[in-house]
Amino acid sequence: MSVAEIFETMEYGPAPESAAPALEWLAQHSEGFGHFMGGAWTAPGTLFLTENPATGKVLAQISQGTEADIAVAVAAASAALPGWKALGGAGRAKFLYALARQIQKHSRLFAVLETLDNGKPIRETRDIDIPLVARHFYHHAGWATLLETECAGYEAVGVCGQIIPWNFPLLMLSWKIAPALAAGCTVVLKPADLTPLTALLFAEVCAEIGLPAGVVNIVTGDGSTGAALVAHPDVQKIAFTGSTEVGRLIRKATAGTGKKLSLELGGKSPFIVFEDADLDAAVEGVVDAIWFNQGEVCCAGSRLLVQESVEERFLQKLQRRMETLRVGDPLDKATDIGAIVAPIQLARIDELVKAGVDQGAMLFQPKAACPTTGSFYPPTLLTGVSPASVVVQEEIFGPVLVAMSFRTPAEAIALANNTPYGLAASLWSESINQCLEAAPKLKAGTIWINGTNLFDAAAGFGGYRESGFGREGGKEGLWEYLVSSPLAPVRVPREARLVGLGGRNLDQTAKLYIGGKQARPDSGYSRTVLSPTGESIGVVGDGNRKDIRNAVEAARAAAAGWGGASGHNRAQILYYLAENLSYRAAEFAARITQQTGQEGTDEVEQSIAQLFIWAAWADKNDGSVHRTIQKSVVLAMPEPLGVLGVACPREQPLLGLISVVAPAIALGNVVVAVPSEAHPLSATDFYQVLETSDVPGGVVNLITGERDVLIKTLAEHDDVDGIWYFGESAALVETASVGNLKRTWCPKPGTIPRQDAFLRAATQVKNIWIPYTDELPW
């Protein structure tokens, strides 16, 4: 083609990046890769192939990790743990810094290797993935340095098992390894079987910088290797990124083991365009939202919601823009959309799109043809879809956008939240008021205003609802790798001694407390409450599944009002509760004595103190503003989880209730609480205090009965957002929670968590990105 002709068509010329250095590196390992454990490489085992999805050609042979391999790697990580912890934050920071530097030095090799293995365009690996990887190690070198002061009282959780997907292979590795190492943990990481190469190059970098042996171990393999890692008893924490389906399996497998767990799962994120948006900017936003990384992005803006008044114009602009997207050789620097990771993923995308079309969707794809060899799929727009259709509900994980319209902002929010997922959302409007009004209403962990797919090491990232729990990045992410140290001992009442029962033997029948009203148990059965000497001292309702259902409904009805009330308002009510309880202190103390045989005055005093503490916190759990490398103000806003099911400790019937219910409601949650099974009368007395303290109906619901049966029902309930369980059968609760993957918190029996742990357990952080520019138009 002559220069004149090029000017005529303005076509891009080819601009290929050379694969030679990466292929040379691969050639050095032509006999196959082993695993990296204890600072050394194992001999290759049973091998499988990893291929270049753009060409279908084999790149390398990879070892399939076995249970025995996992055992060796975990042993190496366990052996390395004491030394790595003892190094201290400042000592570890030097290694994190060295990793960042070394990654930068090899950045082009990493970028090309990633593109070869995954199929994503070199422009993205070079300009986004690898720089962000280095950024994560730098940022966490900083956290390691500050750890001892910023996270005082906490220590490394131990050996971490980390499992990552294929869509951002090295970036996901850095999101996992950098915070773990900063915290003082050692790790065994399993990369995705489709994309293991950059993790193996990273292992070489660990050796190059002299990272102590066993601190980072890389074991390759498929799901069975991951399952062995999850099952290993010496792993104290599992960090998983991948599909919601596998996340559920891991939740079940770790239930009751005491392992810490974070799950970063799938998504179906809305991209909302209001009629006053800058439509051209929003079109570019859509390109980044769904055609970045071939749409293989967990937080891809895959559901476009456009205000009806601008829908036609917007879709026309979008279709015009789609015609200019270049699909092709990922190593070409002018390629926008590279190859789909593997033929199996390509087939899944194709199948879902066909199912959408069969259900009546209209399909638009640009005219330019895709390469016919390799796994390529064109950018695709589906319109005319209904909210229930398969392409609107299911994560496609490919370059496929579905579009719907809305009339009012309220309708946009309802459509946006009409998904079990909750990873991210983008809002486009020139009115910041409009955006800031919508952002808190969206059920998602990250909200981008007039932007999309922005990531940084300083800002936490993670899901609401079935997109998982836990955060990666920033201080929020650091907590995932820390445990409180030493554990706070259980506080025993100052005057713990058996005392006389004071002649009090009032036999009364207490009801359940649902929606602000006393309610008879549905079962029609009651439970007798006994004194320590075995006499009947009262009767409480025996709650069942239906009572729980009613209580959850009442709680849900109260959730928006209570969660949306100001912290100041909630504090007033908690102070009022404290005041009303103190009027009746003697009566409550006597009741404690009657049930437990222990002097009760101290427990009542501590309960009042707890109400004061949590009233104080109600308007002070502020969140923060993150400093990211992009020009954005990122508001990290703690939000209540919503409806919490709470099983109170057996001991200290009043304090056990108040010290868990008070933090939950102070931070805006509504609660269905199961009081102490053995000593429920303090709780049933307490509802009279609730009634007289302006606590709105439904904010606190009390269901007496068999604790583990009731909490299991709550854990299984799909409209409950979280469970706190203070008991011995964590497995029961964690297993039952898999339905909607609600967050569970099961502190070790016999310990009282710190206040900051309550603050984190009661909230989830939403990161709201608001862009700004230094280039003022005036």
First to last CA, the chain: 44
Residue 14 CB, nearest distance to ligand NAD (Å)?
A: 31
- Residue 549 CB burial class (10 angstroms; 0-12, 13-18, ≥19): middle
Residue 418 CB, nearest distance to ligand NAD (Å)?
A: 18
Closer residue to ligand NAD in complex, CB, 416/700: 416
Closer residue to ligand NAD in complex, CB, 467/767: 467
To the nearest 5 percent, what fractions of the chain are helix, strand and coil? 45, 20, 35
For residue 166, state whether it binds ligand NAD (rule: CB under 6 A): yes
386-405 binders of ligand NAD (CB under 6 A) = 395, 397
> Per DSSP, which regions of 12-53 are E strands?
36-37, 40-41, 47-51
Q: How many helices (H) and strands (E) does the chain have?
A: 27, 32
For residue 435, state whether it binds ligand NAD (rule: CB under 6 A): no
For residue 62, state whether it binds ligand NAD (rule: CB under 6 A): no
217-238 as b/e, with b when 16 or more CB fall inside 10 Å?
bbbbbeeebbbbbbbbeebbbb
Which of 89, 121, 165, 563 is the binder for ligand NAD (CB under 6 A)?
165
For residue 241, state whether it binds ligand NAD (rule: CB under 6 A): yes
263-282 binders of ligand NAD (CB under 6 A) = 264-267
Residue 744 CB, nearest distance to ligand NAD (Å)?
A: 19
Residue 416 to residue 423: CA distance in whole angstroms: 11
- Residue 9 CB burial class (10 angstroms; 0-12, 13-18, ≥19): exposed
Residue 389 CB, nearest distance to ligand NAD (Å)?
A: 19
Largest CA distance in the chain: 106
Closest Cα partner for 144 from 98, 111, 112?
98
Closer residue to ligand NAD in complex, CB, 423/658: 423
Residue 49 CB, nearest distance to ligand NAD (Å)?
A: 15
Which of 72, 130, 160, 423 is the binder for ligand NAD (CB under 6 A)?
423
671 forms bridges with which residues in the sheet? Answer: 644, 700
Query: C-alpha angle with apex 227: 225 to 233, nearest 5 degrees?
Result: 105
Tokens at 615, concatenated: 């009233």
For residue 193, state whether it binds ligand NAD (rule: CB under 6 A): yes
Cβ atoms 653, 676 nearer than 8 A: yes
Whose tokens are 């025996």? That residue is 542
For residue 298, state whether it binds ligand NAD (rule: CB under 6 A): yes
For residue 196, state whether it binds ligand NAD (rule: CB under 6 A): no
Q: State residue 601 phi and psi, 5-degree precision.
A: -60, -45
Which of 73, 116, 203, 246 is the binder for ligand NAD (CB under 6 A)?
246
Helix 107-118, helix 20-27: angle, nearest 10: 80
Which of 34, 89, 242, 295 is the binder for ligand NAD (CB under 6 A)?
242
Closer residue to ligand NAD in complex, CB, 163/337: 163
Closer residue to ligand NAD in complex, CB, 447/552: 447
Residue 243 CB, nearest distance to ligand NAD (Å)?
A: 3
Residue 453 CB, nearest distance to ligand NAD (Å)?
A: 12
Residue 113 CB, nearest distance to ligand NAD (Å)?
A: 18
Cβ atoms 259, 236 nearer than 8 A: yes
For residue 501, state whether it binds ligand NAD (rule: CB under 6 A): no
Q: Which stretch binds ligand NAD (CB under 6 A): 114-122, 159-167, 407-415, 701-709?
A: 159-167
751 forms bridges with which residues in the sheet? Answer: 489
Q: How many CA atoms lie within 13 A of 370 on its CB side?
A: 21
For residue 167, state whether it binds ligand NAD (rule: CB under 6 A): yes
Q: State residue 63 phi and psi, 5-degree precision.
A: -80, 140
Residue 264 CB, nearest distance to ligand NAD (Å)?
A: 3
| Residue-wise DSSP of 208-236 | HTTPPTTSEEE----HHHHHHHHH-TT--
Size of the site for ligand NAD (CB under 6 A): 30
What sign results for the dihedral spanned by CA atoms 503, 507, 513, 517?
Answer: negative
Residue 66 to residue 220: CA distance in whole angstroms: 9
Whose tokens are 């005219």? That residue is 367
Residue nearest ligand NAD, CB atom distance: 226
For residue 97, state whether it binds ligand NAD (rule: CB under 6 A): no
Q: Which stretch binds ligand NAD (CB under 6 A): 16-24, 164-172, 319-327, 697-705?
A: 164-172
For residue 70, state whether it binds ligand NAD (rule: CB under 6 A): no
Helix (H) or strand (E) holding 512: strand 512-514
- Which SS3 state, helix, strand or coil, does residue 746 take? coil
Which of 112, 157, 199, 230 is the binder for ligand NAD (CB under 6 A)?
230
Q: Which stretch binds ligand NAD (CB under 6 A): 127-135, 237-245, 282-290, 543-551?
A: 237-245
Which of 35, 190, 237, 591 is the binder for ligand NAD (CB under 6 A)?
190
Tokens at 684, concatenated: 């049933």
Please name the amino acid found at residue 161. Answer: G
Which of 226, 653, 675, 753 is the binder for ligand NAD (CB under 6 A)?
226
Please name the amino acid found at residue 7. Answer: F
For residue 222, state whether it binds ligand NAD (rule: CB under 6 A): yes
Which of 42, 55, 104, 243 is the binder for ligand NAD (CB under 6 A)?
243
Q: Which stretch binds ligand NAD (CB under 6 A): 136-144, 221-229, 474-482, 534-542?
A: 221-229
Closer residue to ligand NAD in complex, CB, 298/658: 298
- Which SS3 state, helix, strand or coil, does residue 398 take? coil
Q: State residue 328 phi and psi, 5-degree precision.
A: 165, -150
Closer residue to ligand NAD in complex, CB, 163/702: 163
- Which residues are annotated as catalytic? 264, 298
- Which SS3 state, helix, strand or coil, does residue 558 take? helix
Q: Which stretch binds ligand NAD (CB under 6 A): 259-267, 412-420, 517-525, 656-664?
A: 259-267
Contacting positions for ligand NAD (CB under 6 A): 163-167, 190, 192-193, 222-223, 226-227, 230, 241-243, 246, 249-250, 264-267, 298, 395, 397, 423, 463, 467-468
